[in-house]
Amino acid sequence: MMRPLKNNNRAFFALVLLCVAVPGFAIVKAIAIIMFWGYCVTIDGFERSSVIWVLSVSANLLAWSIVAEAHMVSQTDMINQCSRILFFFMVLSIGAHVARSSRPRTVELDTLILRVAVLAMILKIVILTLVLGGWYSLEEIQKYVGFETVSDFIGLGLQRLQFPSDIVILFLLPCYVGGKNRIKDAVFLVSITIVVLLSFSRFLFGGYLLCLVVRYVWIRRMDMISRFSVVVILVLCTIFSASLAVRFSGEGTTASDNTRAEQIRHLDSAISSYPILGTGIGSSASGYTRSETMPFSYEVEWYALTMQFGFLGIAWFCINLIAVLFVSLKAGKQVLPFAIVFVVWIASGFTNPYVTSLGSAFGFSILMLRTLQNESTNDRIRA
């Protein structure tokens, strides 16, 4: 008979690093998630409420897979979308389980957050170096590793690299306490900033600034990271002033907004045709797709999910989501920061396909670990 792992935290932290910091390698990540989830269920002991929740999620996905069959949705698209949503909920259940059973110390969670930020930055820099050095094209790297990214230039000869997992930045930033080592704190902030800069996403720019404020509210002091962030932001705004001006007010911005508006029109039309049950998991708006490889994926993901699930299914989806996150709402004074990050995450679903990404799932897991820590407030904010 197998015994529980001696240190669940290390295994979970390794899973976070693999699935969040490293782009692509979907099959490897899927196998790792299934193995860890299976361990949690069969060996580490899920609570009865967690088992009931898993059954609810499974029933939700099964029911709307049947709806997809009725609408003759491609089985490939249905399986792809269903697996994305299933893995999203599996990771949430793993995160909730680890948060309730392990509750790592502040320094341990800070170390994980730092490693995720640094590794994500390093990998983006490596990819950028390979492309700009002429060794590989971005298309070749995407095909080999298995990821998609926007391919615009952002100025100074740099290439834009935006991954779905970048949404995790909005969770890492407010959850990092720091204050014990100034060098590590500076490395963390620089890493986070570079990841956001290379994504060149207006939403992530705004979320970055807001989450700096959330972090200040959470730790209740103006620490080195807060002060250093002002300097970093001013320097980058000066260096990339022209590119940022174009990004926020240029023709590219108008085209991007028009694309989202067009997506909303097509998806809203499909929702109006099938408002209650939707058109099934993996379906796409008739005659309009955003991606050839994932036709069911749209930048306005909440609209896409509502089209697929209908109002009944999306309500069930949201109930399942809120149920697993409710465990963190018992954290008393930490409810406000949690709620702000949650609202920012909801908003992300109207600008980019972040909602069911692994970055969101693991981000919420880290947020649950932070809010359920059993250390005193004094230890959390100690410089």
188 band by pLDDT with thresholds 50, 70 and 90:
very high
pLDDT-above-90 percentage for the chain: 39
If one counts every other C-beta atom within 10 angstroms of the C-beta of residue 181, the result is 13
Identify the pLDDT of residue 131. 83
At CB < 8 A and 24+ separation, what contacts does 317-323 make? Answer: 317/60, 317/85, 319/56, 320/53, 320/56, 320/57, 320/60, 320/89, 321/89, 321/92, 323/53, 323/56
pLDDT in tens, 335-357: 778 888 899 999 999 988 889 99
Rounded to the nearest 10 degrees, how much is the dihedral formed by the CA atoms of 79, 53, 303, 148?
A: -50
Record the pTM: 0.89
For the chain, the distance separating the N- and C-terminal CA atoms, rounded to the nearest angstrom, is 45
pLDDT higher than 60, residue 376: no
Contacts of 224 (CB under 8 A, 6+ apart): 178, 179, 182, 185, 186
pLDDT higher than 70, residue 84: yes
Contact at 8 Å (CB) between 53 and 320? yes
pLDDT higher than 80, residue 213: yes
331 band by pLDDT with thresholds 50, 70 and 90:
low
Q: What is the mean pLDDT of residues 168-196?
A: 91
2 band by pLDDT with thresholds 50, 70 and 90:
very low
- Crossing angle for the helix pair 182-199 and 224-239, nearest 10 degrees? 40
Short-list 124, 117, 134, CA closest to 200: 124
Tell how far CA 89 is from the center of its chain.
Answer: 12
Least confident of 236-245, 247-256, 259-268, 324-333: 324-333
Identify the pLDDT of residue 138. 77
pLDDT in tens, 121-178: 999 899 888 888 889 887 888 878 777 766 677 766 677 788 888 899 999 999 999 8
DSSP state of 134: T
Contacts of 343 (CB under 8 A, 6+ apart): none
Residue 275 CB-half CA count within 13 A: 1
Least confident of 140-149, 205-214, 239-248, 340-349: 239-248
Identify the pLDDT of residue 383. 42
Q: CA geometry: angle at 20 spanning 113 and 321, to 5°? A: 95
Average pLDDT for the chain: 84
Strand, helix or coil at 158? Answer: strand
pLDDT in tens, 42-54: 876 777 777 788 8
Identify the pLDDT of residue 158. 75
Tell me, what amino acid is at 46?
F
Q: Which residue has the tokens 């309500």?
A: 315
